Chain A
C-alpha cells in the first residue's frame, strides 16, 4: 500500500461557511430551547410523569450509541489489522468524540437541573449504572483522544495498536453500560433484560458506521478528494451485516418475550396495536432501517456510492425509530402494579401514556446533531484527519499490485 497522506480540509469556500453557519444556528436554537425548558419548567415539553424521558433522550441515546460505533472503523484497522481500513481510522476517532459530545450535551441540557452538572461530577453512587456511564464516557473521550494522537504522531505510531485495543474494549464496555441503563430496570416490562446490552452494541455498530459513511463521503466530496468504489463498497457491505445483526438481536428480544405469557401484553403493544410505536417498529426499524438497506448494499446494482448513501440514511432513520420505540414506547406501556388485574387512578395507572414531542425538545435534540457536525467540520479543518485520497489504487494493496503487474 502506498503511504497514506493526510491533510486538513481547506474550509475557506462559501459552502463551508454556509454549512458552519447553519449548524451554528441549530446549536443556538438548542441552547435557547434548553433555556426555555429550564426557565418555564418541563411542563412546556411533551414529557410528563408517565413518559419521563422524551425526545432529547432519543437523540442523546442515538448519538451516544453511534459514537462508540463510529470508532469501529478505526478498531478494524488497528486491532484487526485490515489494511484497507487504516486510512479511515483518524476520522473514525474524531467522529466518535464528536458524536459523544453531541449526545452528552443534549442529555445534560435535558436534566431538571443542568446547573448541577458539577454535583454529578463530584457525588457518585457507585451502585448506579448511570454513575458508571459518567466514568465510561469521560474515559472514552480521553482514550480516543490519546489513540488519535498516537495515530497522528509518527514517533508514537508503535503504541497506536495497544491504544486501539484499549479503545475497542472500552467502547464495548461503554455500550454495554448504555444498554444496561435499560437492562437493569427490573420493574419495566419493556426493558429488564440482559439482551439490552448486546442489542445496543449491535445498534452502535450499525448506527455508527452509517453516520461514518455519510460523513466520509460528504467530506471527500466537499473537499474534492478521490474516493474509490472499493472502500465504499466494503463499508456498505459491512453496514449490511451490522443491520442484519440488529435485526437478529431484535428478533431474539421479542421472541423470548413472546414465549413468556407475562410479557404478552407489552409485546402485543409494541408489535401489534401500539399505534405509532407499532408503525415505527415495523416500517421504521425493520423495513426502512433493516431490510431495505440490506437489499441496497448486497443486491442492488448501480452506483455504489449512491447505494451506500441511501442505505446509511435509511439505517439512521430506522435507528431513530428504534430508539424512539425503545425509549418512549417502553415508557408508554404502563407499569404492572398488579399483574393480571385492571387498574385505574388519577395518575394514569393502567393506561397507555401519551407523549407528543414538543418543538423545544426536537430543537434541543437537533442541536446535539449540529454540535457533532460542527466539531467534525472544524476538527477536519484544524487537523489532518482526512486522507488526501481514498482512490482504489491508493488504499488497496492488491489493486496497486495488479496495476503494477499489468
Chain B
C-alpha cells in the first residue's frame, strides 16, 4: 500500500535522460517530416495540377501532348537533347544499342517529295500493346494515362519491344553510371519515355516540351486531355489533329497537327 502511494506521487524533479531522449525523437521526426511538408507546400503553390505526394493517381486526368509540325524544324533536336539530359541517357557510340526515348523522324512522301520532321516517343496509348503483352505486368499504364515500366519486375524479355508499333522502347544493353535519382534505369530491362513523370507529378511539364518552348519552335504542348478548359483540349477540339497509326485503334495520348 505504501509503495503504491509513493509511485502515484509526482516527483518534484525531472529525469534529464528521458527529456533528452524525447527531444531527440521530436527533432528527428521534424527532420523526417520537413521535406514532405515542404514538398507539399511547393507542389501546392506551383500548380493546381500537381499530385499530392502519396495520393493515388486519378483517372480524371489524361496527360497528353499536341505537337504542331508547322513549328517543328527538321534541323532542331532540342527536345532530344533535353530528354537525354533530364533522364541521364548517355550514348556509348553504338547507335544500334544506345537507348533513345525520343527521336526526330523525317517523313517524306515518295510521290510528291514533300517532307516533314517530327519528334517520336512513347505515344502513351490508351490501349498500349506493350502492357497487354508484358508477362509480369511490369509494363503498366497509370490511371492518368502515363505508360511506364516497373524496373523491379521487368525481366528483360523484350516482348513489349516486339509489340510496340512506334519503336518507342529501348533495351538497356550495358552497365549504367551516373544515373539520375528521379529516372532510375537498369541493365537488362526495357525503358521508354516516362513523360517526365517526376516533373508531371510535381506540377511541371516534360523536359522536351519545356526545351521546345524555350529554345525550339514551341511546337509541343502538354496538358490534360480530360480537362475541357485546358489549352490542349481546346486546341484538339478546334483543329484537326492526327494520331500516328490511328488505324491500330490504340488511342495514343500524343497527337500531331499539320501532319
Chain A nearest CB, measured from B147 CB (Å): 14
Tell me which residues from 82 to 132 in chain B have a Cβ below 8 Å from any Cβ of chain A: 92, 94-100, 103-110, 120, 129, 131-132
Beta-carbon contact of B105 and A113 below 8 Å:
no
Asked if A83 lies at the interface with its beta carbon under 8 angstroms from chain B, I say no
Beta-carbon contact of A342 and B110 below 8 Å:
yes
- A53, A123, A347 — most chain B CB neighbours (10 Å): A347
**Known: A123-B136, A124-B137, A130-B133. Is A343-B162 also a contact (CB below 8 A)?**
no
Beta-carbon contact of B155 and A125 below 8 Å:
no
Asked if A129 lies at the interface with its beta carbon under 8 angstroms from chain B, I say yes
Beta-carbon contact of B136 and A187 below 8 Å:
no
Beta-carbon contact of A52 and B155 below 8 Å:
no
Chain A nearest CB, measured from B241 CB (Å): 15
Beta-carbon contact of A187 and B107 below 8 Å:
no
Task: Report the interface size for chain A: residues with CB under 8 A from the other chain.
Answer: 50
Asked if A41 lies at the interface with its beta carbon under 8 angstroms from chain B, I say yes
Asked if B208 lies at the interface with its beta carbon under 8 angstroms from chain A, I say no
Interfacial chain B residues near A188, Cβ < 8 Å: 162
Beta-carbon contact of A128 and B134 below 8 Å:
yes
Asked if A331 lies at the interface with its beta carbon under 8 angstroms from chain B, I say yes
Interfacial chain B residues near A185, Cβ < 8 Å: 129, 133, 162-163
Complex CA–CA separation, A331 to B165 (angstroms): 12
Interfacial chain A residues near B99, Cβ < 8 Å: 49
Interfacial chain B residues near A331, Cβ < 8 Å: 162
Interfacial chain B residues near A38, Cβ < 8 Å: 188
Beta-carbon contact of A116 and B106 below 8 Å:
no
Asked if B167 lies at the interface with its beta carbon under 8 angstroms from chain A, I say yes
Interfacial chain A residues near B132, Cβ < 8 Å: 125, 127-128
Among B137, B138, B162, B172, which residue has its beta carbon within 8 angstroms of that of A41?
B172
Interface magnitude class on chain B: 35 or more
Asked if B174 lies at the interface with its beta carbon under 8 angstroms from chain A, I say yes
Complex CA–CA separation, A272 to B138 (angstroms): 39
Asked if B156 lies at the interface with its beta carbon under 8 angstroms from chain A, I say yes
Interfacial chain A residues near B106, Cβ < 8 Å: 343-345
Beta-carbon contact of A130 and B135 below 8 Å:
yes
Asked if B164 lies at the interface with its beta carbon under 8 angstroms from chain A, I say yes
Interfacial chain A residues near B94, Cβ < 8 Å: 43
Beta-carbon contact of A42 and B162 below 8 Å:
no
Q: What is the 8 Å Cβ interface bit string for chain A, positions 303-340, against chain B (1 contact, 0 not)?
A: 00000000000000000000000000001000111101
**Known: A119-B155, A335-B167. Is A112-B245 also a contact (CB below 8 A)?**
no
Among A41, A49, A347, which residue has its beta carbon within 8 angstroms of that of B175?
A41
Beta-carbon contact of B188 and A42 below 8 Å:
yes
Beta-carbon contact of B162 and A186 below 8 Å:
no
Beta-carbon contact of B244 and A338 below 8 Å:
yes
Beta-carbon contact of B155 and A117 below 8 Å:
yes
Interfacial chain B residues near A49, Cβ < 8 Å: 96-100, 161, 167, 169-171
Asked if B230 lies at the interface with its beta carbon under 8 angstroms from chain A, I say no
Asked if B70 lies at the interface with its beta carbon under 8 angstroms from chain A, I say no
Q: For residue A38, which residue of chain B has the nearest CB?
A: B188
Asked if A358 lies at the interface with its beta carbon under 8 angstroms from chain B, I say no
Chain B nearest CB, measured from A339 CB (Å): 8
Chain A nearest CB, measured from B163 CB (Å): 6
Beta-carbon contact of A338 and B137 below 8 Å:
no
Among A112, A130, A336, which residue has its beta carbon within 8 angstroms of that of B189?
A112
Interfacial chain B residues near A113, Cβ < 8 Å: 154-156, 186, 188-189
Interfacial chain B residues near A338, Cβ < 8 Å: 107, 244
Chain A nearest CB, measured from B115 CB (Å): 9
Q: For residue A345, which residue of chain B has the nearest CB?
A: B105
Asked if A111 lies at the interface with its beta carbon under 8 angstroms from chain B, I say yes
Interfacial chain A residues near B120, Cβ < 8 Å: 337, 345, 349
Q: What is the 8 Å Cβ interface bit string for chain B, positions 153-183, against chain A (1 contact, 0 not)?
A: 1111111011111110111111100000000
- A52, A117, A130 — most chain B CB neighbours (10 Å): A52
Asked if A40 lies at the interface with its beta carbon under 8 angstroms from chain B, I say yes
- Give 10 nearest A-B pairs by CB, closest first: A112-B156, A112-B188, A187-B165, A41-B174, A130-B135, A48-B96, A43-B173, A125-B137, A52-B158, A123-B136
Q: List 7 A-B contacts (CB under 8 A).
A: A49-B161, A52-B161, A117-B155, A124-B137, A127-B132, A187-B165, A347-B167
Q: A128-B135, A134-B135 are in contact. List 6 more A-B contacts (CB 8 A).
A: A48-B97, A112-B154, A113-B186, A128-B134, A187-B165, A348-B95
Q: Which residues of B contact A (CB under 8 A)?
A: 92, 94-100, 103-110, 120, 129, 131-138, 153-159, 161-167, 169-175, 186-190, 244-245, 248
